A and B are shown apart, each in its own frame.
Chain A
């Protein structure tokens, strides 16, 4: 095995202990291998460093959370950045400052705004910096409150300006803050407290701010209260930093929802929209059922259903999921599963926000009928005569002739044009033209008789009667001719057909096809049991065993020729009978056809 493959497997922990021993042996014996190994280790360490990751820009972050709030009912507190414990203490205004290392909004790929090392260094300094900051701030507040210099107006300005400078980013907070609020050295915490009062007792960082805001209790959850009490003892050192006369008054927005209101409020339900689901090509049925306020249409896609050509036009408000709960994407005009393999009987659920789902108990979507699919088919078949008959020819009342039976193979080519209708293409109507080539063998019998007609006129009273007496001409004897002929025939015929199909398998069709038509010499009827296999959704290969029945539509009749002349004493006529007639043929054979569906 290649040493680099070994290294790769070693890095993944995929080597057995034996292989690992061998690997170590190779490393120990080869400086080159060791160098490679070191490079791979270095590469892996770079790849797994967070700095290699892209970071969403602030605008991306804001856009996402704005959409979540507006459309999905996310509470504003959910859109706030999360702070960890240390950072929340260290930063002056946790609620108002984004601690995330967003990259340059210009979209620079490799942000270094807040590296891991920097954060680690910052965290190491926390234990020193935090008490120092608190001490300085508390001392400053105490001094500016007039405990030392006797004035307090400037301290109010300081307190407010601190909040103002950062408060603009908090929704619904800064605009309602009173500029005359009491001086507050912990203005940034006050901001958080006010935010808490506005709704949200979810953030531990926010809860901790109660340590400094004794007069605030509205909107606090039980959990927050408990934690506050628990922490108040452990953080008493910080509490002692507060000046004794400091009070904090939260400005509460009366129109703001309480935390409980927010938690209890269900996400806004989207306005129902009419559902449209039209399927242009799929042979699988759509089942509909109502779940909640939504109509769920379930479309089964099976393994051989050719996912990429199963098309569906869906409205914007549809979503898909397969049986494993993974979302399934759809493209315009194409319903498709995004993974590489569909298991048998996978299901796509189409969720629609349907108006009808609210007004009807079952709210079924219309099952869209199968789209008519036009097609052109070319078929070539070979048939052989199974049975052939024609009327027997009687000669002199004793002998009879019938046509010879042959076992010729008859090639036939058909061109069909039609449409497939119904669910799963069950009904096919089509017109067809065909050319058939065969050798026709005929036995023809001709009987000729020459007779004399004598005219006898008799008068009786006022009436005159003319009689014609027919008698054989003695001088000319009757003749009978039997002729056998063999000639090549091209039979053109056209007709219409119908096929009923069933679909035993995803790609397989079978059924019964009947075609009737008229040709140059024969009337045609064929019965086939086609078996077809779909090659995608465009082509279908067909195997068609069947029977073909023909019967001659132009049969011979007895012919009499002669002249009847009443004024002559005698006339002569000639009678001729030509046969055979009523010729029929039953042929059997197989054909192979290719169907092209026109989209």
Chain B
């Protein structure tokens, strides 16, 4: 059953449809939140909860606005966008300087040297001689993703982990298609290098 059918059903009063939507996206949204709010895991959990609260409140809006209600076109896109907004809001509240969609981080100033810290940090954390265990690889990948610059890891999680089309990625993050494509390519390259020895064993 598609997200939109479930959402319609939820708007009509079926709470189970909401739960189904929740279970469909809880892991994805939480992963995305924790990716952005890497240094604030507790806040990420709060924002995760807030995102799904807002999804539920759409029904209230729907009832209040009746025919004027503008339905959500894509639940998935809406959820990620809300998650994005919440995370940025939190960071701004903390007076952090973030450059999600600015070209300063990760675009033209990127060069190969920026990859070094990722690899070194990873090696320090996990060592290079450990044999690869199947389950460990997922953890290692996430650990590496978290070491990426924010602009790269956001795109990577949206596009590669959550398999969203570029159109949605650009809508959620506000970056251009070209920038998103370049960032994903750089993220892939960096991660491939960092995890090369394990990927070869795969």
- Which residues of A does B touch, CB under 8 Å? 4-5, 7-9, 11-12, 14, 35-36, 38-40, 42-44, 46-56, 60-61, 63-64, 67-68, 72, 74-75, 77-82, 100, 107, 109-110, 112, 202-203, 263, 266-267, 291-294, 325-332, 334, 336, 338-341
Contact with A along B147-187 (1 / 0, CB 8 A): 00000000010011101001000000011000001001100
The verdict on A82 contacting B141 (CB below 8 Å), with A43-B195, A72-B56, A338-B85 known, is no
A84 to chain B, nearest CB (A): 10
Q: Which residues of A sit under 8 angstroms from B159, Cβ to Cβ?
A: 12
The answer to whether B27 touches A81 (Cβ under 8 A) is no
Kindly state whether residue B13 has any CB partner on chain A within 8 Å. yes
Chain A residues with Cβ below 8 Å from B88 are 329, 338
Assuming A55-B30, A77-B16, A294-B64, what are 12 further A-B pairs, CB within 8 angstroms?
A: A8-B181, A12-B184, A43-B188, A46-B202, A48-B163, A54-B31, A72-B56, A74-B56, A82-B23, A110-B142, A340-B175, A341-B174
- Interface presence of B40 (CB below 8 A): no
Residue of B nearest to A338 (CB): B85
Partner of B53, one of A49, A53, A68, A82: A68
Collect the chain A residues with CB atoms within 8 Å of residue B27's CB.
50, 53-56
Question: Given B57, B93, B174, which contacts A332 in the complex, CB threshold below 8 Å?
Answer: B93
Choose from A63, A78, A294 the contact partner of B19 (Cβ within 8 Å). A78
Which A-chain residue is minimally distant from B89 (CB atoms)?
Answer: A329
Kindly report which residue of chain A lies nearest to residue B64, judged by CB atoms: A292
Within 8 A of A (CB), among B121-151: 135, 137-139, 141-142
The answer to whether B30 touches A4, judged by C-beta atoms less than 8 angstroms apart, is no
Pair A77/B15 contact, Cβ less than 8 Å: yes
| Contact, CB under 8 Å: A48 / B16 | no
Determine whether the beta carbon of B53 is less than 8 Å from that of A331.
Answer: no
Interface residues of B in 63-116 (CB under 8 A from A): 63-65, 70, 72, 78, 81-82, 84-86, 88-89, 92-93, 100-102
CB of B202 within 8 A of CB of A42, answer: yes
Among B64, B163, B185, B195, contact of A9 (Cβ-Cβ < 8 Å): B185
Partner of B185, one of A5, A61, A110: A5
Asked if A40 and B64 make an inter-chain contact with CB atoms under 8 angstroms apart, the answer reads no
Contact digits for B9-38, partner A, Cβ 8 Å, 1 yes 0 no: 000011110111011001110110010000
Whether A202 touches B15, Cβ cut-off 8 Å, given contacts A49-B138, A52-B141, A56-B30, is yes
> B192–A43 contact, CB under 8 A?
yes
Q: Give the chain A neighbours of B191 by CB distance below 8 A.
A: 43
Which 5 pairs show the lowest CB-CB distances between chains A and B?
A: A78-B15, A329-B89, A53-B27, A338-B85, A340-B174
Assuming the contacts A4-B189, A110-B142, asked whether A266 and B63 have C-beta atoms less than 8 A apart, the reply is yes
- Known A44-B160, A56-B27, A67-B53; judge A326-B48 contact (CB<8 A): no
Q: How far is the CA of A109 from the CA of B146 in the complex (A)?
A: 12
- Chain B contacts for A42, CB-based, 8 A: 199, 202
Q: Is the CB of B92 within 8 A of A46?
A: no
Indicate whether A338 sits within 8 Å of B89 (C-beta atoms), given known contacts A267-B60, A292-B64: yes
Residues from chain B with Cβ under 8 Å of A51 in the complex: 135, 138
Q: Which chain B residues lie closer than 8 Å to A293 at the CB level?
A: 64
Check A338/B84 contact, CB under 8 A, given A56-B48, A202-B15.
Answer: yes
Q: Give the distance to chain B from A199, nearest Cβ to Cβ, in Å.
A: 11
A53, B161: Cβ atoms closer than 8 Å:
yes
Most buried by A among B89, B101, B174: B89
| A324 → chain B closest CB, angstroms | 8
Q: Are A68's CB and B56's CB within 8 A?
A: yes
| Interface pair B160/A74, CB less than 8 Å apart | no
In the complex the two chains form, is A327's CB within 8 Å of B100's CB? no
Contact of A54 among B30, B84, B135, B163 (CB under 8 A): B30
Q: Which residues of B contact A266 (CB under 8 A)?
A: 63
A77 cross-chain contacts in B, Cβ below 8 A: 15-16
Residue among B52, B85, B166 making CB contact with A64, cutoff 8 Å? B52
Complex interface: chain A residues within 8 A of B185 (CB):
4-5, 8-9
Instruction: Please give the distance in Å from B190's CB to the nearest CB on chain A.
Output: 10
Q: Please, how many angstroms separate the alpha-carbon atoms of A532 and B93 in the complex?
A: 32
Nearest Cβ on chain B to A570's Cβ, whole angstroms = 94
Given contacts A47-B160, A53-B31, A326-B81, contact A203 B89 (CB under 8 A): no
A47 touches B141 (CB 8 A): yes
21 interchain pairs, CB-CB under 8 A: A4-B185, A8-B188, A39-B200, A43-B188, A43-B191, A44-B160, A46-B202, A48-B163, A56-B45, A67-B53, A68-B53, A68-B56, A74-B56, A81-B23, A107-B41, A109-B142, A325-B78, A329-B85, A329-B89, A331-B93, A339-B174
- Chain A residues in 8 Å Cβ range of B174: 339-341
Alpha-carbon distance A497/B41, docked complex (angstroms):
56
Docked pose: A509 CA to B161 CA in angstroms: 50
Residue numbers in B under 8 Å from A43 (CB-CB): 141, 188, 191-192, 195, 199
Known: A46-B141, A110-B142, A340-B174. A326 touches B188 (CB 8 A): no
Q: What are the residues of chain B within 8 A of A47 when measuring CB–CB? A: 141, 156, 160-161
The smallest beta-carbon distance between A99 and chain B, in angstroms, is 10
Chain B residue nearest to A204 (CB atoms) is B16
Check B28 against A53 for contact (C-beta < 8 Å): yes
**B82's contact among A46, A78, A326, by CB below 8 Å, is which?**
A326
**CB nearest to B143 among chain A residues:** A109
Closest residue on chain B to residue A326 by CB atoms: B81
Residues of A within 8 A of B139 (CB): 109-110
Closest to A308 in B: B92
- Chain A residues contacting B84 (CB-CB under 8 Å) are 338
With A40-B188, A336-B92 already in contact, the answer to whether A9 and B160 are too (CB < 8 A) is: no
User: What residues of B have a CB within 8 angstroms of the CB of A292 in the complex?
Assistant: 64-65
CB-nearest residue of chain B relative to A332? B93
| In contact, B14 and A340 (Cβ under 8 angstroms) | no
CB distance from A190 to the nearest CB of B (A): 21
Residues of B within 8 A of A110 (CB): 135, 138-139, 142
Q: Complex: how many Å from CA A583 to CA B16?
A: 90
Q: Which residues of A contact B57 (CB under 8 A)?
A: 72
* Complex interface: chain A residues within 8 A of B70 (CB): 325
**Alpha-carbon distance between A54 and B161 when the two chains are bound, in angstroms:** 11
Q: Which of B52, B137, B138 has the most CB of A within 10 A?
A: B138
